[in-house]
Structures are given as C-alpha cells and as structure tokens.
C-alpha cells in the first residue's frame, strides 16, 4: 500500500462550490505539506503543518484552508472554488527524525482538480 | 530570496543518448538540493539529494548530479537515456529555516525519441 494517499484522485466542480481534498499517510511523519502544480510554475507551497496544533501558511494560501485532524491526516479545503484554482494538488510528508534527513519530502500521487 | 531556476522547459533526446538537465539555485549558505521525477499520472519520486560531502551524487535509475558551488548549479546527468525516462524533472532546494519547506524549479519535461 502507498505511504501517502490522496482522495479524490480527480475532481471536477463548479465555481463557488466548496471542495475538500484529503491526504493520509502511514509513514508516521509529523510534517505535512500541500502544494499545487501549474504548468511552467513548478510546485508552490499552499500550507504546511508540523503537528496537529501547528499550521502555517505557504506562499499561496489565499483562497485555501487546511485542517490537521490527526498526525496522519491533513485536508485542504477550497471554500469557494474559482477557475484559476484548477491545478494538480500534491500532499507531501517529511520528518528528519525518521531518517528522512533534513527536508526530504515524500509525495502522494496527486489530485487533479478542475473548476468550471 | 531563495530561488531555483531550470532554464530548459522542454528537452528532447534520442534513446541511448546522454542527458544533462540544468538547475541553478540562489541560496546564501550550503544548500540542501534535490532532484525529483514525476512520471505521467504519478506523484514525485526522489532521484537523488545533496546535503554535504562528495559533490558528485549518485541516485536511482542511473542518474547522477554534481554540485558546483562556484556556479550555483546542481545539474542532473545520465549517460544513456531509456524511453522510460520520459517524464518531468524538478530541481528543489531546502529552505533556509528548519521548516522542511522545499522551493521548486519550474520543471523540465524530457521527451525521448526512439
């Protein structure tokens, strides 16, 4: 089984709808991250969390919110989706204490979100 | 500010030919550098990483990268490309603080001709 899973894998929604993307991990890592990938822009950090009580904004957090329900679960919400939030979204984990070493991150398979 | 630049958006090579993907970074101290590969429909997989020590780093799938401080570069190489190497490649640098954040380049798409 995959260490980092994301649901759904694909989602099409309409402008103004609320959407939640979910991420679960079995790696036992404390740190979790949400990125979005756009063609020509690489991956950009939306939010990151060091533990359940420690959540931080990344470089492009506007229009997004997150919830860290447990060490293993980190959800990303779009409160009112808009078309320019159409992108590929990745969840990632890391934890130097588990031999991940510094900033190495482990990625889920991604969620492709289309906002019409 | 830290940044990563991958000058080549798209590269096409013939199968069996050598490959070099360029990566330049901007960072004040010794960087933590990574190369990830994203195959179609897949997440990102770590190819290799550099933290310190030997500046020539070996990775999975026959890839290697060389850290050159004087040129602020961390170029990825492979002596003989296979069709299965067609993918998107991302260079990344670890953020200065202990946040675990990564800063990614724009990505290079590799196409392999038969």
Condensed to tens digits (0 to 9), the pLDDT of residues A76-88 reads 999 999 999 999 9
Judged against a pLDDT cut of 70, whether residue A54 lies above it is answered with: yes
The answer to whether residue A93 neighbours chain B at the CB level (below 8 Å) is no
Across the range A84-113, mean pLDDT stands at 84
Q: Residues 6 or more apart from B70 whose CB is under 8 A from it?
A: none
Tokens representing residue A115 in the block: 């906002």
Band of pLDDT at residue A96, cut at 50, 70 and 90: low
Within 8 A of A35 by CB-CB distance, chain B residues are 104
Backbone angles phi, psi at A109, to 5 degrees: -80, -10
Q: Are A90 and A35 in contact (CB under 8 A)?
A: yes
Q: What is the mean pLDDT of residues A48-62?
A: 93
Both structure tokens of B75 = 């170029």
pLDDT band at A103 (very low <50, low <70, confident <90, very high): low
Going by C-beta distance under 8 Å and a sequence separation of 6 or more, which residues neighbour residue B47? B35, B36, B37, B59, B60, B61, B63, B65, B76, B89
Distance separating alpha carbons of residues B54 and A83, to the nearest angstrom: 46
pLDDT of B14 > 60? The answer is yes
Choice between A40 and A16, residue whose per-residue pLDDT is larger: A16
Q: What is the pLDDT of residues B41-61, one digit of tens each?
A: 788 999 999 988 889 999 999
How far is CA B80 from its chain centroid? 16
Task: Give the pLDDT of residue B81.
Answer: 97
Q: Does B92 score more than 60 pLDDT?
A: yes
Distance from CA of B39 to the nearest CA of A (A): 10
Q: What residues of chain B lie within 8 A of the CB of A94, using their CB? A: 100
| Residue A98 confidence (pLDDT) above 70 | no
**Cβ–Cβ gap B100/A105 under 8 Å:** yes
Average pLDDT over residues A105-115: 94
Task: Identify the pLDDT of residue B27.
Answer: 80
Interface of A with B in 60-89 (CB under 8 A): none
DSSP letter (8 states) at residue B29: S
Q: What is the pLDDT of residue B96?
A: 63
Q: Which residues pair with B112 in a beta bridge?
A: B13
CA distance linking residue B39 with residue B35, whole number of Å: 13
Whether A93 has a pLDDT exceeding 70, the answer reads yes
Q: How far apart are CA B1 and CA A95, in angstroms?
A: 24
Closest CB from A33, A42, A107 relative to B107 = A42
Percent of chain B with pLDDT over 90: 74
Which DSSP state fits B41?
A: T
Predicted confidence band at B100 (pLDDT cuts at 50, 70, 90)?
confident
């Amino acid at each position: 089984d995959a260490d980092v899973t994301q649901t759904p894998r694909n989602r099409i929604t309409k402008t103004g709808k609320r959407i939640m993307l979910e991420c679960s991990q079995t790696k036992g890592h404390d740190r979790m991250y949400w990125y979005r990938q756009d063609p020509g822009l690489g991956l950009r950090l939306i939010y990151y969390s060091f533990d359940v009580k420690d959540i931080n904004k990344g470089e492009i957090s506007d229009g997004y919110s997150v919830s860290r329900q447990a060490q293993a679960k980190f959800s990303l919400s779009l409160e009112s989706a808009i078309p320019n939030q159409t992108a590929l979204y990745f969840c990632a984990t890391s934890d130097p204490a588990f031999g991940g070493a510094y900033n190495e991150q482990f990625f889920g398979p991604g969620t492709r979100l289309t906002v019409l | 500010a830290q940044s990563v630049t991958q000058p080549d958006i798209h590269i096409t090579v013939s199968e069996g030919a050598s490959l070099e993907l360029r990566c330049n970074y901007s960072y004040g101290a010794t960087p933590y550098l990574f190369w990830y590969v994203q195959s179609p429909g897949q997440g990102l997989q770590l190819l290799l990483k550099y933290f310190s020590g030997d500046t020539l780093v070996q990775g999975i799938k026959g890839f290697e990268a060389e850290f050159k401080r004087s040129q602020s570069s961390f170029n990825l190489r492979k002596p003989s490309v296979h069709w299965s190497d067609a993918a998107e490649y991302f260079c990344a640098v670890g953020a200065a603080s202990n946040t675990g954040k990564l800063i990614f380049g724009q990505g290079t798409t590799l196409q392999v001709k038969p």
